Amino acid sequence: MTISVGDKLPETTFAIMTENGPEQVSSTDYFAGKKIALFSVPGAFTPTCSAKHLPGYIEKEADLKAKGIDEVVCTAVNDPFVMGAWGKSAGADGKVTMLADGNGAFAQAIGLTMDGSKFGLGTRGQRFSMVVNDGTVEQLNVEAPGEFRVSAAEYMVDQI
């Protein structure tokens, strides 16, 4: 079942790269008490994700915060080392938090996986964005296969 507006995020574990190495974080703890703009990409360093998706949220971070967002978060089914390196190379430090869903547990728990096998990617998270307020989904935008529109930062800024 796919998550819907009004649903609480399920309990899963992410990994985040810190100066001490990767650290595990509970989704329940991480999203508690904050209003977060969360977006998911099929993979770090992939073309659309690197050229448009992540850069858009880096560019629009201040606009999102001006509209009441506490933090902008990117997730992908990648390990924390890759997510950390991608964030650094894209200039996301201090603007977009990179949460690794290494085994795809989060994508699976919210019902938003995709089969990227024909590209050698295996099971990944779909391209989507959501506003999560204290662990509850307030907005949800899921892209049609092969599209990049409703999960873009500009779209989210206009929605809020």
User: Please, what are the domains in the chain?
Assistant: 13-159 (3.40.30.10)
Write down the catalytic residue from 16, 49, 58, 131. Answer: 49
Question: Using one digit for the tens of pLDDT, what is the confidence trace for 121-151?
Answer: 767 789 999 999 999 999 999 999 889 999 9
Question: Using one digit for the tens of pLDDT, what is the confidence trace for 45-79?
Answer: 877 767 789 999 999 999 999 999 999 999 999 99
Residue 56: other Cβ atoms inside 10 A: 19
Query: Is 49 a residue of the active site?
Result: yes
Q: Which two tokens stand for residue 122?
A: 């295996």
Q: Pairing state of beta strands 13-18 and 113-115?
A: unpaired
